[in-house]
């Protein structure tokens, strides 16, 4: 069993490194085809390593290290993600458990879900009178839909046998919710949260480009204004790495709550 586990980890590492080599090769090819207008990986790594020398420096409002920029973005992402989840999960439970709830809320979900994050930003500014609140608002409003939909699906797909067991043992409504409904729907909820955190992390870049101030999105825009493509590519790498780590985090949680079929 340990040998199989080790072999699986080794293969996963080989595939991961291979994908990085493919990415690096494609990147270098694009750099050559654009006659180095797009910096190659070596040029980008030089700037990237310089950025990491002192990532938490603070020389004023518009001159902060990449570490401070990233931390500010992560705080906004988790604030919006938490707010969105607190809205999505209860509504999803209601939609999945009640046909009336589904008929009532499903049209609203289908109307609001496709709206672009950028379209919500002016309303966020109007409501919160500040770009910080508006950015958190657009993260919340755009990231809640996968959690809501997956929660509703998980609850609505509870087998009738499970419901009959609750009735046979005379479960109260609260006991049915805590012993049957939530445990069965939890893997679906975590799947929704995993999708939602990915959307939240994508939206933060657009939101901070509009709001300015501090954050990884603002850093990208500020680097463009400073004509530093190396910094832009470095920021893209950081965004991708953090997105990968967030996905791995929720993937691990997903495996913990998944049914093992036993």
User: pLDDT tens digits, the chain, 262 residues: what are they?
Assistant: 445 556 777 787 888 888 889 988 898 898 888 877 888 888 889 988 988 888 888 887 777 889 999 999 999 999 999 999 999 999 999 999 889 989 999 999 999 999 988 899 888 888 888 888 889 999 999 999 999 999 999 998 888 887 777 777 777 778 888 888 888 889 999 999 999 999 999 999 888 888 877 889 889 988 888 888 999 999 999 999 999 999 999 988 888 877 654 4
Contact 229, 38 (CB under 8 A): yes
pLDDT at 261: 46
| DSSP result, 2-32 | HHHHHHHHHHHHHHHHHHHHHHHHHHHHHHH
What is the pTM for the complete model shown?
A: 0.86
Contact 151, 190 (CB under 8 A): no
The torsion region of residue 63 among left (phi > 0), alpha (psi -120 to 50) and beta comes to beta
pLDDT at 3: 52
pLDDT at 189: 94
**Count of Cβ atoms closer than 10 Å to residue 8 Cβ:** 10
Contact 213, 76 (CB under 8 A): no
């Amino acid at each position: 069993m340990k040998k199989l586990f080790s072999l699986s980890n080794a293969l996963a590492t080989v595939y991961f490194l291979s994908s990085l080599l493919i990415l690096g090769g494609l990147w270098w090819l694009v750099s050559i085809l654009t006659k180095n207008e797009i910096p190659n990986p070596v040029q980008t790594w030089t700037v990237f390593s310089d950025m990491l020398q002192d990532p938490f420096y603070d020389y004023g409002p518009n001159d902060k290290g990449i570490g401070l920029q990233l931390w500010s973005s992560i705080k906004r992402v988790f604030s919006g993600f938490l707010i969105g989840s607190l809205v999505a999960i209860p509504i999803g439970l209601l939609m999945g458990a009640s046909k009336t709830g589904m008929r009532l809320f499903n049209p609203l979900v289908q109307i609001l879900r496709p709206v672009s994050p950028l379209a919500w930003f002016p309303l966020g500014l109007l409501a919160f009178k500040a770009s910080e609140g508006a950015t958190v608002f657009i993260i919340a409003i755009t990231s809640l839909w996968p959690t809501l939909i997956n929660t509703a699906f998980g609850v609505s797909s509870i087998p009738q046998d499970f419901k009959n067991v609750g009735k046979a043992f005379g479960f109260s409504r609260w006991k049915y919710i805590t012993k049957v409904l939530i445990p069965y729907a939890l893997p679906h909820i975590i799947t929704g949260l995993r999708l939602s955190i990915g959307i939240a992390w994508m939206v933060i870049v657009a939101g901070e480009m509009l709001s300015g101030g501090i954050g990884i999105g603002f850093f990208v825009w500020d680097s463009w204004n400073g004509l530093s493509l190396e910094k832009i590519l470095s920021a893209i790498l950081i965004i991708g790495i953090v997105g990968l780590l967030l996905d791995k985090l929720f993937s691990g949680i997903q495996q913990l709550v998944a049914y093992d079929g036993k």
